[in-house]
Amino acid sequence: MIQQSFFSRLFVLVATAAGCATLLADWSQVTALDLPVTKLSPNPVKAKSAMTAHFEEQITVNEAFLKEFPNDPHAFESRVRLAVAQARLASLQQDSHGVDAALSKLIELEKNPPDETQHAETMFRRISLQWQNLGSDPDQRRDRAVTSALSFSQEFPKDRRAPRLLAEAASLCDSHPEEKRKLVEKALSMPPTASDESLKKRLADDLKRINQLGKPVSLTFQSSGRTVDVSQYHGKVVAIVFWAAESAPCLVWIRDFAGFASDIPDLKVVGVSLDQDRNDLDDAKRSLKIDWPNAFDGKGWQNSIARDFGINALPTLWLLDRQGRLQSLNARDNYQLKINELLRKN
pLDDT tens sequence across 258-285: 999 988 989 999 999 999 999 999 999 9
Residue 112 has pLDDT above 50, yes or no: yes
Distance of alpha carbon 187 from alpha carbon 165, whole angstroms: 9
Residue 335 has pLDDT above 80, yes or no: yes
- pLDDT band, residue 79 (cuts 50/70/90): very high
- pLDDT band, residue 20 (cuts 50/70/90): very low
Task: For residues 158-170, give the mean pLDDT.
Answer: 97
Distance of CA 320 to the CA centre of its chain: 26
- Structural contact between residues 288 and 255, judged by C-beta atoms closer than 8 angstroms: yes
pTM over 0.85: no
Q: Give residue 24's pLDDT.
A: 64
Q: Give residue 23's pLDDT.
A: 56
Task: For residues 207-214, give the mean pLDDT.
Answer: 96
Residue 11 has pLDDT above 50, yes or no: no
Residue 93 DSSP one-character state: T
Q: Give residue 35's pLDDT.
A: 80
Task: For residues 40-64, give the mean pLDDT.
Answer: 91
In CATH, 6-211 is 2.40.50:
no
Q: Give residue 132's pLDDT.
A: 85
Q: Do domains 6-211 and 220-344 have the same CATH topology?
A: no
Q: Give residue 17's pLDDT.
A: 36
Number of other CB atoms surrounding residue 107 within 10 Å: 13
Residue 227 has pLDDT above 80, yes or no: yes
pLDDT tens sequence across 86-96: 999 999 999 99
- Structural contact between residues 190 and 157, judged by C-beta atoms closer than 8 angstroms: yes
CATH superfamily of 220-344: Glutaredoxin (3.40.30.10)
Task: For residues 5-23, give the mean pLDDT.
Answer: 39
Residue 255 has pLDDT above 90, yes or no: yes
Residue 128 has pLDDT above 50, yes or no: yes
**Range in 35-39, 258-262, 320-324 the model is least confident about:** 35-39
Distance of CA 77 to the CA centre of its chain: 26
Per-domain boundaries in the chain: 6-211, 220-344
- pLDDT band, residue 13 (cuts 50/70/90): very low
Burial of 329 (0-12, 13-18, 19+ CB in 10 A): buried
Residue 8 has pLDDT above 50, yes or no: no
Q: Give residue 1's pLDDT.
A: 36
pLDDT tens sequence across 138-156: 889 999 999 999 999 999 9
